[in-house]
Structure 1
Amino acid sequence: MKHVLITGASTGIGFALTKSCLEQGYTVWACVRKLEALKDLKDKYPTLHVIRMDVTSNEEVVAAANIISQQSVKDFVLINNAGIALGGPIEAMNLKEWRNLFEVNVFGLLQVTQAFLPLLRKTKGRVINIGSISGRMSSPFLAPYTSSKHAVRAISDSLRRELRSLGVKVILIEPGPIKTDIWDKSIAQSEKLEAQLTPELQEVYGDAINSLKSAVTDVAKNAVPVSYVTNKVLQAITLPNPYPYYLIGKNIHFQAWLMKLLPVRVVDAIFARGFRFQKARK
């Protein structure tokens, strides 16, 4: 019996992963900030255990680790899914916003992983980190998010090499655009940021932000179903020798190849001519 802990389980990819793992018959600890978030699943699946755990709270993380470590767990999988998205011009974003994002996307992931590493070592389990193609390419106006995903990729690489001799496998999932509610949230966040810009910054970046909103809408239309992610994660859980990276989405392998092989100046020119620098659509 596999035992899976999923952070950020109440919505989006986390909710889909929770449901998929339950359908496989796994015991799932779903970490949420509001316990009522998974009531329907809890009523349907007896192997679901809902835990109140904010990944930025050391007390809640340690408490969850203590509870699960006391159970009879032989095959443990940690899925670090919790994350938030934030974007905008670097000049216009204060450090508090940056710190809040890194607390969830990076330090929260580290805090949870550290707390569960004793159990992972004991069970020779697996760590599955939900990253992003943004961890390989730094898009303009998405610096907070992309830099956090670069950090997740670096952490995953180091952790995989540290734990290799201990029998713990570390896998990084790198999705491109996926059909979740993150797109509506991104547009709402962009509009909020735009409203907060000073007149000077509005003049400098207003067209770019409007173009970014249009681009987000276009990207969302071509996003792949969340099942693409859940299927790859289930492979990462079950395969004897999973790949270290799973790239997911339309043209994502091609994009990763371009970022790796093209000269930096060429990549910069592509972004300069791309949708993020077009004038807002009328």
Structure 2
Amino acid sequence: MKNAIVTGYSSGIGEAICKILEENDFTVLKLKTRLEDSLNLEKEVKQLLKNHDLELLVNCAGLGVFKPHEEISVEKIKELIDVNLTAPILLCNLCLRALKKTKGHIINISSIEATRHSKFSALYTATKAGLRNFSLSLFEELRRSDVKVTNINPDLTKTNFFDELNFEPSSAKNAHLLPEEIAKAVINIIKFDGVITDITLRPQRLEIKKVKK
């Protein structure tokens, strides 16, 4: 059995990734500390790695806000940066020595927004573009250590990510992705004989439905 740490494991893409990993002989080590709490997160990870080897780190937790930048509170700005960017960078830092021992794999779940520039997405795009570029640079750093680094950019995926937003993917079958499809891509990436450094997953059509909150 191999060990994996997966953030965002309680729902959506993270939950689907945990399920498929467990079906493929991984044990998922689930962090209990909130990702915004960097001090206690560091303590928990260090304690966990004293008792377990680590073959895989999947940074999947993410938050979104899409509105005029001046309307976003300072607290929400900090929360998005902490969860979407700071926590993955911190977890990579804390896990790297363990991953070097096993020649493991880091997979960061970014977003289609990391590859483009959309209206009302400046903050979210900044965090996800930062994560994507961190991933690509980290791969270059780690090539000689044989630690693989992959960045995944999912497009609209039908999850509870949209519960607090005023839009969601259309229910049309070919206008959204499912969490299980992202999870299948993760397994294929892990099994690939080489390194997939950056991959974008998209539905065929773009259809967004407005939702009244």
TM-score by length of 2: 0.88
Larger relative contact order (Cα-Cα within 8 Å, sequence gap ≥ 6): 2
Distance 1:66 1:229, change over 3 A: same
> Which segments of structure 1 move beyond 6 Å, counting only runs of 4 or more?
none
Is the CA contact 2:55–2:99 (under 8 Å) kept in the aligned structure 1? yes
Q: Look up the equivalent residue of 1:128 and give its one-letter code.
A: I
The number of residues matched between the two structures is 209
Q: Which of 85, 94, 107 is residue 64 of structure 2 equivalent to?
A: 85
Q: How far apart are 1:105 and its partner, in Å?
A: 0.5
Instruction: Give the Cα–Cα distance (whole angstroms) in 2 for the partners of residues 98 and 66 of structure 1.
Output: 28
Q: Which of 43, 58, 70 is residue 38 of structure 2 equivalent to?
A: 58
Query: Higher helix proportion, which one?
Result: 1
Q: Which of 154, 157, 168 is residue 178 of structure 1 equivalent to?
A: 157
Distance 1:103 1:220, change over 3 A: farther
Matched, 1:239 2:207: no
Instruction: Give the Cα–Cα distance (whole angstroms) in 1 for the partners of residues 203 and 172 of structure 2.
Output: 12
Distance 1:109 1:228, change over 3 A: same
Q: Look up the equivalent residue of 2:4 and give its one-letter code.
A: V
Q: Look up the equivalent residue of 2:182 and give its one-letter code.
A: V
Q: Which structure: larger Rg?
A: 1
Instruction: Give the Cα–Cα distance (whole angstroms) in 1 for the partners of residues 49 and 69 of structure 2.
Output: 42
Q: How far apart are 1:120 and its partner, in Å?
A: 1.2
State the secondary structure of the residue aligned to 1:63. Answer: helix
Matched, 1:103 2:82: yes
Instruction: Give the Cα–Cα distance (whole angstroms) in 2 for the partners of residues 240 and 140 of structure 1.
Output: 38
Matched, 1:22 2:22: yes
Q: How far apart are 1:72 and its partner, in Å?
A: 4.8
State the secondary structure of the residue aligned to 2:157. Answer: coil
State the secondary structure of the residue aligned to 2:30. Answer: strand
Q: How far apart are 1:64 and its partner, in Å?
A: 2.9
Equivalent position of 1:125 in the other structure:
104
Deviations 1:236-273 (A, max 9, x none): 22223131112112149xx9xxxxxxxxxxxxxxxxxx
Q: Look up the equivalent residue of 1:101 and give its one-letter code.
A: L
What is the Cα-based RMSD across aligned positions, in Å? Answer: 2.5
